[in-house]
Amino acid sequence: MNPTPQVTTPQIPPPTWFMHVHERQTSVLSELLYALPNSPLQYPIQGVVVQPLVATLLPGLALHAEIRDSYKVENVFPFSQLSDSVSLNVSIGVLRTAHSGDGAVVKGVGERELTMESSDLVILNSLLANVSYTSTIYHINTGDLVSFQFEDHEAVFPIAIKQSHIPVLWDMGTDVNSHVSITVKAFMRYSKVRVLVDSIRKFYPKIKIIIADDSLVKENLSGENIEHYLMPPAQGFFAGRNLAVSQVTTKYFLWVDDDFLFTVNTKIEKFVEVMEANPDLDLLGGSVKGNRFYFSILHEEGDEAEGDCVYRKSGGKFHTIPGYPQCHLVNGVVNFFLARTESVRKVGFDPLLRRVAHSEFFMDGLGSLMVATCDDRSAMYIDHQPKKGEPSFYMHFRHPGKEDDEFKLRHHYFKNHLKCIQYG
């Protein structure tokens, strides 16, 4: 196991910066709730989702009580105040119910406190079945807690307030050329890029190749279905990835390095098959000359002042993918992978990381990206060109030295609110 990297006097962001991120990721729905035993109250435990500012029926509300002269259902705010009667209550919305006026008394319609009383349990349950909730604030992802009370019984259940998503669909066409684009980041190794392109064209003559190029001295890379994007010099690996991925117009892209080499065992269709069979997957890695370089990430939350810890374990993996025993779920893979375009765009590549970067993308995507790796050398394999023939000054950029490593760690600690990183 490598020693834990030491960072000298890391910059610590003000506590309010972390709290802003924390507030965006948590809501009242994060509160732990318990269902009490033997309650006469019937209510939804989970799954109630409403759009902001839109009236929505609350399903499953009912009272199962013994026969008595009068039943009273009341919304009491705040919900910590208990009543001897049945009750409902909310904080950032209003409640309504359909009321015919026969055999019931209803108060507080259109308010946070709704009271319903009747001598007929059937009428009361009819009122409960028609209770609707409308949020009074606009928020795309928040929630409210509803308190439902009867005598000394209280139930609290959550309402998720979420703006609905408009789906983004991709025209898959009829062949792999409409399924996948190939993306490459190029820097000063034009001879290797040309060898890579020739190897791609041997097996995929028409597939689109997108090249982001930040070479110091530019050369022309042209050909059918080749898009060559020129960047300012030495902008870096992640900036180039962002540019390349931004130009993808297919559902998937295959990431390859500029010195890789397609072989008869590089079958993009197999990647697509696995991804289409597992819609939860966002990114699927293969093998580079037999090396899959997969790893798992453990994120250990710390306190707000000091930050968290991240542990990256090389070779760490989880269970297999159903139907594909040669594929395992992981948290990160090698630089040869097929990815869902929309998923990767949402995470993005940090352009401040120019020379020393790989695991950082998967750390940024932890909790957002479902990642897997497959050990299938007959179909999900790519070769690597020999190291010889690289420009003499290329290695200066490829291995920039201690200063870039230290910058990466300082940036990492600050951006990801960390106090320690350990690689094993």
- The DSSP string of 230-273 is E-STT--HHHHHHHHHHT--SSEEEE--TTEE--TTB-HHHHHH
Domain match, 217 and 316 both? yes
Last residue of a domain, one of 103, 129, 162: 162
Highest mean pLDDT among 98-102, 105-109, 280-284: 280-284
Residue 161 phi/psi, 5-degree rounding, is -105, 110
Give pLDDT tens digits for 333-389: 999 999 999 999 999 999 998 877 788 999 999 999 999 999 999 999 999 999 876
Give pLDDT tens digits for 41-80: 999 988 899 999 999 999 999 998 877 666 666 544 333 3
Does 78 sit behind a cis peptide bond, omega within 30 degrees of 0 on the bond before it?
yes
Domain membership of residue 170 (yes or no) is: no
CATH code of the domain covering residue 245: 3.90.550.10
Average pLDDT (197-206) is: 98
CATH code of the domain covering residue 140: 2.60.40
Tokens 């996948």 correspond to what residue?
A: 180
The three-state (H, E, C) secondary structure of 371-407, written as one string: EEEECCCCCEEEEECCCCCCCCCHHHHHCCCHHHHHH
Cα–Cα–Cα angle for 182, 183, 187, rounded to 5 degrees: 135
* 203 touches 262 (CB < 8 A): yes
> Could you list the residue range(s) of the whole structural domain that residue 383 is in?
176-423
Domain membership of residue 23 (yes or no) is: no
Whether the predicted pLDDT of 84 surpasses 50: no
Q: In whole angstroms, give the CA distance from residue 109 to residue 87.
A: 14
Confidence at residue 387, expressed as pLDDT on a 0 to 100 scale: 82
Domain match, 328 and 362 both? yes
Average pLDDT (246-267) is: 97
Q: How confident is the model at residue 399 (pLDDT cuts 50, 70, 90)?
A: low
* 12 touches 123 (CB < 8 A): no
Mean per-residue pLDDT of the chain: 87
Highest mean pLDDT among 12-21, 47-56, 98-107: 47-56
Domain match, 153 and 192 both? no
Q: In whole angstroms, give the CA distance from residue 300 to residue 363.
A: 13
Confidence at residue 18, expressed as pLDDT on a 0 to 100 scale: 60
* 255 touches 212 (CB < 8 A): no
Residue 19 phi/psi, 5-degree rounding, is -65, -35
Q: Both tokens of residue 123?
A: 């009428």
Domain match, 219 and 252 both? yes
Number of structural domains found in the chain: 2
Residues of the chain with pLDDT > 90: what percent? Answer: 64
Confidence at residue 130, expressed as pLDDT on a 0 to 100 scale: 94
Confidence at residue 374, expressed as pLDDT on a 0 to 100 scale: 98
Confidence at residue 30, expressed as pLDDT on a 0 to 100 scale: 65
Residues of the chain with pLDDT > 70: what percent? Answer: 84
Confidence at residue 274, expressed as pLDDT on a 0 to 100 scale: 97
User: For residue 417, which amino acid is it?
Assistant: H
How many CB atoms neighbour CB 346 within 10 A?
12
Q: Both tokens of residue 155?
A: 């139930």
Confidence at residue 13, expressed as pLDDT on a 0 to 100 scale: 63
Domain match, 180 and 307 both? yes
Q: In whole angstroms, give the CA distance from residue 199 to residue 225.
A: 15
Domain match, 216 and 361 both? yes
Q: In whole angstroms, give the CA distance from residue 88 to residue 97.
A: 12
Higher pLDDT, 151 or 242: 242
* 334 touches 321 (CB < 8 A): no
Last residue of a domain, one of 138, 162, 186: 162
Confidence at residue 79, expressed as pLDDT on a 0 to 100 scale: 36
Domain match, 144 and 195 both? no
Average pLDDT (116-132) is: 90
Last residue of a domain, one of 162, 186, 205: 162
Cα–Cα–Cα angle for 412, 370, 51, rounded to 5 degrees: 95
Domain match, 330 and 384 both? yes
